[in-house]
Amino acid sequence: MMKTLRNFFNVKPNNEKGIEGIQEINEQYVDKEKAGNSYIVGFANGKGKICHWGLLIDLAGESHDNSAIGILIHMWVEDSKLSLFYNKNQFYRNRFELFESVGKIYDISGKNNPKDWYHELKEPITQWFEEFKKNSGENWSSQCNSHAFSLYLCSKLNLQYPDSCKQLEKESEPLLDSKKLYNTLAHLIDKQKNI
């Protein structure tokens, strides 16, 4: 039986080179200077074409040269409905077809705790997702897809979406359902196991 995308991200891999899966949100900053660094990410379809887009926010300043750690926020289709996904994941940076800085968001809550910051972000992100669907439609289309949603999130968070990403979107091959995205991400893990 095919796992859903949600279950896929809950899997803890048994190797050191794959996607680490969902992790706990830190209650302390690892590097406060890096906290809030944000990246647009693109997953490839195995043919070098970007097929899915997301926004990764490093809330605790945990990322380093080889590894991107943070909240991955993206939209996909599951059971014929648009769905929102956001949880903390760790990826090897070179496994993305695209990994591009879009700026930084700031924790203005004053709580000085990445875990609290994460919970404070969930509400507006969910509201923006509903707003996006209202404006762009309830069905996956050229106006309503993971790339358009990533661009929308960047604008809401005052992040600078690179022009190079806008061009890449025109060349991408979008995935329309979670089963295809799961297969693509499973292929990514298989490639990492062989390194």
CA dihedral of residues 167, 170, 176, 181 (deg, nearest 10)? -40
Whether the CA torsion 4, 7, 8, 9 is positive or negative: it is positive
Higher pLDDT, 170 or 5: 170
**In 3D, which of 55, 64, 58, 57 has the Cα closest to residue 93?**
64
Per-residue pLDDT of 73-122, as tens digits, reads 998 887 778 888 877 777 777 778 888 899 999 987 777 889 888 888 88
Tokens of 173: 């091959």
Q: What is the pTM of this model?
A: 0.76
Q: Beta strand 81-92 with 67-78: parallel, antiparallel or unpaired?
A: antiparallel
Mean pLDDT across the chain: 75
Higher pLDDT, 164 or 58: 58
Whether the CA torsion 149, 143, 131, 161 is positive or negative: it is positive
pLDDT of residue 19: 40
What's the whole-number mean pLDDT along residues 120-149? 90
Distance CA 86, CA 60 (A): 15
Q: Beta strand 81-92 with 98-104: parallel, antiparallel or unpaired?
A: unpaired
pLDDT of residue 23: 63
pLDDT class of 171 with cuts at 50, 70, 90: very low
Distance set, CA 83 to CA 16, 77, 137, 153 (Å): 29, 6, 13, 15
Per-residue pLDDT of 2-19, as tens digits, reads 223 333 333 333 333 334
pLDDT at 21 over 50: no
Whether the CA torsion 71, 101, 51, 11 is positive or negative: it is negative
For the chain, the structural domain boundaries read: 5-176
Place of tokens 């990492």: 192
Beta bridge partners of 88: 71
Higher pLDDT, 124 or 195: 124
pLDDT of residue 130: 95
Higher pLDDT, 7 or 71: 71
pLDDT of residue 169: 54
Contact (CB, 8 A) for 88 and 71: yes
Distance CA 137, CA 155 (A): 18
What number of other Cβ atoms are within 10 A of residue 1's Cβ?
3
Distance CA 140, CA 178 (A): 12
What number of other Cβ atoms are within 10 A of residue 90's Cβ?
17
Whether the CA torsion 190, 70, 25, 52 is positive or negative: it is negative
